Every structure is written in structure tokens, then in C-alpha cells.
Amino acid sequence: MSTSDLAQAAVPAEPVDRTRFAVPGRFLASELALLLRRRRNLAMLCVLAAAPVIVGLALRASSSSDDSGAPAFLGQVTDNGLFLGFSGLMLLMPFFLPLSMSVVSGDSVAGEAGSGTLRYLLIVPVSRGRLLAVKYASCVLFGLIATVLVVTSGMVAGAVMFSTGDVTLLSGTSIGFGETLWRALLMAGYAAVLLAGLAAIGVFVSTLTEVPVAAMASVASIPVLSQILGMIPQLSWLHPWLLTDTWRVFDDFLREPMMTDTIGRGLLTHVGYAAVFFSLAWARLTSRDVTN
């Protein structure tokens, strides 16, 4: 054996970076736990959970006198309290749920960059793509937790305040509690997908700035602008592509059979939004200089 062979044998082999191949479950769990421990996020979840209860109390106070002025869907709550879960989700989806997602997703990367911790996260052998995927997945899970919490809070509060039993759908068919619970979970899952599309936009905007408040405000303005554009008849050609065009189709879940055409279009639209803006966020973060 030559001297060069002995020298090469004496040099220890470079250790394999197993973290590159590790399943990011622990990383995701840690990020989600950090997200849920923040007081701001806990406060938002508490407000979301309390909103259906407040609506139920208002209906309870007015049901003994005159509820003729209530919207048709809310009028179902006094007949069956389980409808409060559906009503809460429909009432919070246009503004409060998107606002919560705007805060969480807008802070996802910008908050780390603003506090100076983003560069330290990337010093650890974690790829930027994996970091971004975990940030986005935690936002999506937060949205799912929020929607399930709203539906659960509303159904429990409705069951306490009003009578319950078989639910009469908008099409006139009656279903039992098991089917009602299943449709409530479908509605919560659909709302979570809608929020996932917004979350991808929020994560992308969050990679463009180091000021979390600016990212949150920018993302929060997008659903508002989309709803304004949706009210302009001259832009009817644009309406099917707007982010908020299918945000009010929850009543389609309460028909027999379910009207899946609009629901399917909403799912495809928001999956498309998620794919496009997550790709843009990945391109931005992987080319961004965070070492300075």
C-alpha cells in the first residue's frame, strides 16, 4: 500500500447528514406548538370560538319575541341548535377567519427575518425548501384547527341553548346526528382548504419583507379587494378566478344530494392558488440572501 493510500485511509470519512433525509414530523410538531403557544394566536382562537356563542345568545334573547328579521339560515338555529355551528362558520368566513390566517401566514417568515432568527434556522442543516414547507404546513393546520373549533363551539353552544334532533336540510330532507356531524366536518375541511389558498399567498408575501406587520396588512387586504371585485358586474369574467368567489357556498353542503359542482370548483381554485404562490415563495426564499 502506497503512502498516499495510507494517508487517505487515515482521514475519517465525512459524516452523512441524516437530517437531510429525516421526516420533518418533529420539526412540524415543534413549529405548530410554537404557533399555538403565542398569546396573539391563542387570543384569536378564543375570539373565533366565542363568536358562535355570542350569535347564539343574541338569537336566544330575540327568539322569544321576534326573529322575523333574522336571515333565513340563522332562522334555522332556533329550530335546531346544531345549525349554529354551520351559521358560525358562514358568518366568520368572509372576514374573521381570513384575518386570522393573514396574521399567522404573514408572520411566518417575516417574523423570523425581522427578529434575526431566520439566518440561525438556516445555519442548522435544514434546507430552505423544507423550512418553507413546515412554515406553510403549520399555517394550514392552524386554519384547520380554527375552522373545526368554530363548528364545534357553535354546535355545542347551540345544543345547550336550543332544542336538537334530526336536522332538516335546506332541501327538506332530514338527517340524523351522525350525518350532521359528518357534513359539519366536511364544511370545516372545505373552509380549511379555502384558508390554505390564502395561507400560500401570506407565506409568499412574508418572504418579501422583514416587517411582519406590513406582511399581515398586505395579506389581509387581499380578501377584501377580492370581494370588492366580486361585486362589480362588469368583471363577471374575472369572478370565477377570484379568491373569494366560492367562500359563501356552505349551504351546498346542506342539501340532498350535496351540490358538488361549486364545491369542487372552489377546491380546485384554491389548490391552484396554493401551488402557484407556494412555488413563488420557494423561488423567493431559495434565492434570498439571509446571511447579512
Question: Of the candidates 207, 213, 219, 155, which has an alpha carbon nearest to the alpha carbon of residue 182?
Answer: 155
pLDDT-derived band at 57, boundaries 50, 70, 90: very high
Mean pLDDT of the 112-124 span: 62
Is residue 184 scored above 90 in pLDDT? yes
Q: Is the peptide bond before 257 cis (omega within 30 degrees of 0)?
A: yes
Q: Are 144 and 189 in contact (CB under 8 A)?
A: yes
Question: Of the candidates 140, 107, 169, 113, which has an alpha carbon nearest to the alpha carbon of residue 28?
Answer: 140
Strands annotated E in the chain: 167-168, 174-175
Mean pLDDT of the 28-54 span: 94
Lowest mean pLDDT among 14-28, 89-103, 166-180, 192-206: 14-28
Which tops the pLDDT comparison, 30 or 97? 97
Is residue 225 scored above 60 in pLDDT? yes
Which tops the pLDDT comparison, 131 or 19? 131
> Which sign, positive or negative, has the C-alpha torsion 142, 143, 146, 152?
negative
In the chain, domain spans: 24-286
Q: Are 87 and 161 in contact (CB under 8 A)?
A: no
- The whole-angstrom separation of Cα 20 and Cα 24 is 9
Residues contacting 195, CB < 8 A, separation 6+: 97, 98, 101, 140, 143, 146, 147
In the chain, what is the greatest distance between 2 CA atoms, to the nearest angstrom? Answer: 100
pLDDT-derived band at 286, boundaries 50, 70, 90: confident
- Looking at residue 292, its pLDDT comes to 47
Mean pLDDT of the 105-120 span: 75
Is residue 79 scored above 90 in pLDDT? no
3 state SS of 113? helix
Is residue 5 scored above 50 in pLDDT? no
How is 160-213 classified by DSSP, letter by letter?
HHS--SSEE-TTS-EE-HHHHHHHHHHHHHHHHHHHHHHHHHHHHHHTT-S-HH
pTM of the entire predicted model: 0.86
What cell numbers appear for 114 in the block?
Answer: 425581522
Residue type, 69: G
Residue type, 149: L
